[in-house]
Structure 1
C-alpha cells in the first residue's frame, strides 16, 4: 500500500512540474490541461498519506507530505482566478441594450457526428446572432444549409481534415477574409460584423491544431497562430472578438500570453471553468472553446449549452459594447519576458 501511495504522489507532483518546462513538445504542453484533476489527485494522495500516519512517520513521508501540501497550494492559486472567489475580469452589464449587444455560439461539432438535427435544434434554442461550427466537412455543410434562412450572412469553409469552419450571422458581415496564417490546411475566418446600432466589430474565428501525438507533436503552430491573431487584434481600429476552439485551456501560460499580447479579456476569469471538452468523460473536462474580446465589451450572459453527440459542449456568450467599459476593465499586461517569448514563438519555423 505504501508503495502505491508514494508512487501516485510522486507522479502527481511530476504532472504539476512538467508544464513548468516551457518546451513546445506535446508531453510538456498536454499537462497544462488537467489542472483541476491534478488538484483532486493531490488531495487524494494527501488523505492516503495521512491515513498511514498511525505509526511514527519516516523522514521521507514528512518530506512527501510537505511537497504535496505545497503542490496543492500552488494548483489552488492557479485555479482560483477561474472561480467566483476571484475578481471578475469582465464586468456584467447593468442594463441590457440590444442595439449594442451581440450573442455568439461556438460549437465543435465533431466531424464524424451525424446528429446535425440535434445541432440545429440547439442553435434554434439558443438563438444566437452568430454561430461558429467547427470540424465541419462537406456533409455538415450540406445538412446545415437551412441556417441561411435565419442567418443570411455566412462564410463557409468545409474541409475533410477536421478543421472546416462554418460561420453564420444574422448581422451583416464585410471585409471577409479566409486566412491560412501558419498551416496551409488550417483556416481562420476574419471579418467585420456590424451591430444593430451600426458599430463595426472585428471578428476572428480560429481553430489551431492541438499539441498531441496523432495530430501535431508540438504546440509551435498553435502558439504561432494565436500570437499572429494577437498582433492583428492590437492593430485593429475596431472592437475585437476572437472565438473558436483554441485547443488550449484558459489557464495555460500560452493562453495567458495570448491575452497579454492581444489585450483581450476572458469572461471565465472570476466566474468559472465552463468546461467544453470532453463531453463524454466528466472527470476529464477542460475549457477549450473560447470567446475573448476587447475591453470595451461587458458581459450579459455566459453559459454552456447541451451536447448533441459531439465530444465538445457548445458555449454561448452574449456581450454588450459600452464606451466607458475600457476604463472600468483591465487587460493583462505583458512584461519584457512575455514580449521576448512571443517574438521568439512567432519567428520559430513550423513544419511543412
Structure 2
C-alpha cells in the first residue's frame, strides 16, 4: 500500500508538467499535417501559444531543479523556431523601395455588430488610402454611407450572410469584378486602383472558416484561386481581407510561397478572437506580388469596435 501512495504522490507532482509538455510537442507536430486534413490544420494556427507555454514550462522546471524534464519543452520551443525560420523563408520580404506609401485598412466588422459608430470613428481616425470591410450586409452599407465624403470611390457586394464586402477608396477604382470561388461560390472583390499615376490590382476576400472537411477544401480552393489571380496579374497586386488562416499553416505557406509577405510582423499582430487574448491569432492578412515592399503592419486603434476581429493597418510601397 505504501508504494501505491508514493507512486501517486510522484505522479501528482510530475505528471502534469510532463503531460503538458508532451501535449505541446504533439500539437506542434500535428499542425504540420494541416496540408492533409482539416482537423490537423487547426493545430497549426496556435504555434505562438505553444512556444510561449514551452518557454514557461522550461523556466518552471529549471526553477524546480528538473533539468532532465526541461528537455521536452525545450525541444518543442526549438522545433517551433525551426518552423518559424523555414516559414519566413518561403516568402519574399522585399526591402523598402523608393516610392509612395499606400495604406490599407482591413476590417471584419462582424455582421451582427451594431456599433457602427466605433467603426466609422476608426476609419476616420486611421485615414487609410483603401479600406476593405467584410461581413457587410444592407444595414452596414447604410450605416457607412456617411464616409462617402472622405472616400468617394466604393465597391460594394451585399449579402444577407457573412460574406458581403465593401471597399472604400480615396483613389479612383475601375474594372470592378466579383469573383466566385470554390464549390460554395463565395465572392471576392477584384478591381484596379489608380494610384500615383499607376495601376494596382486589388483583391479583397473573406474565406470560409475551415471547421469541417468541406469548408477546409472550400477555403483552400478559394485561396488557391486568389493566388493564381496574383500570379497572372500584369501590374503590382495585393490580396487583403479575412483569410481565415494563419501564416503558421502549411496550407498558407504552400499556396503563397514566393509572394511578398511579412511573416514575423504578421505573427506579432494577431487579429482574432478579440474577446480572448490568450488565443489571439493573425487571420486578417495582406499578401502581395514580389515587387511590392513592406513598410509596416499594426493593429489599428481603437481596436475595440464591437467585432470579434481587431482591425489590421498595412503600409506598403510599390516601385
Q: TM-score range by the shorter chain?
A: 0.7 to 0.9
1:116 aligns with 2:82: no
Of 216, 223, 226 in structure 2, the residue corresponding to residue 226 of structure 1 is 223
TM-score (norm 1): 0.78
In structure 1, the partner of 2:279 is: 284
Structure-1 residue corresponding to 2:6: none
- Residue 4 of structure 2 aligns with which residue? none
Match for residue 313 of structure 2? Answer: 316
Give the equivalent residue in structure 1 for 2:209. 210
Deviation string, structure 1 residues 177-213 (Cα, Å, up to 9, x no partner): 111111445210111111121x111111111112125
Among candidates 60, 67, 74, match of residue 69 of structure 1? 74
**Residues 22 and 284 from structure 1, CA distance in 2 versus in 1: closer, same or farther, beyond 3 angstroms?**
closer
- 1:13 paired residue number: 25
Structure 1 residues 66 and 267: CA distance shift in structure 2, 3 A: closer
Change beyond 3 A, Cα 1:136–1:265: same
Within the candidate set 33, 45, 56, 2:45 is matched to: 33
Give the distance between the partners of 1:187 and 1:109, measured in 2 at CA. 17
**Helix, strand or coil for the counterpart of 1:146?**
helix
Q: 2:96 aligns with which of 76, 92, 95?
A: 92
Deviation for aligned residue 1:232: 1.6
Contact 1:81–1:270 (CA under 8 A) maintained in structure 2: no
Is contact 2:94-2:291 (8 Å) kept?
no
User: 1:169 is matched with which residue?
Assistant: 169
Residues 70 and 301 (structure 1 numbering): CA distance in 2 closer, same or farther, change over 3 Å? Answer: closer
Per-residue deviation, 1:26: 3.3
Gaps of 5+ in 1: 323-352
For normalisation by structure 2, the TM-score amounts to 0.86
| Cα pair distance change 1:139/1:271, threshold 3 Å | closer
- Work out the CA distance in 2 between the residues paired with 1:309 and 1:82: 33
Cα deviations by residue, 1:140-182 (Å, 9 ceiling, x for unpaired) = 1111112222222211112222111111112111111111111
| Structure 2 unmatched ranges of 5 or more | 1-12
> Residues of 1 paired with 2:288 and 2:65: CA distance?
50
| CA deviation map 1:263-285 (0-9, x unaligned) | 42113446862111122222211
1:113-262 equivalent positions in 2, closer than 5 A: 113-184=113-184, 186-197=186-197, 199-212=198-211, 218-260=215-257
Q: Secondary structure at the match of 1:316?
A: strand
1:218 deviates by 4.6
Alignment-derived partner of residue 350 in structure 1? none
The 2-side partners of 1:126 and 1:53 are apart by 50
Aligned length in residues: 303
Once the two structures are overlaid, the 10-residue window that deviates more, 278-287 or 264-273, is 264-273
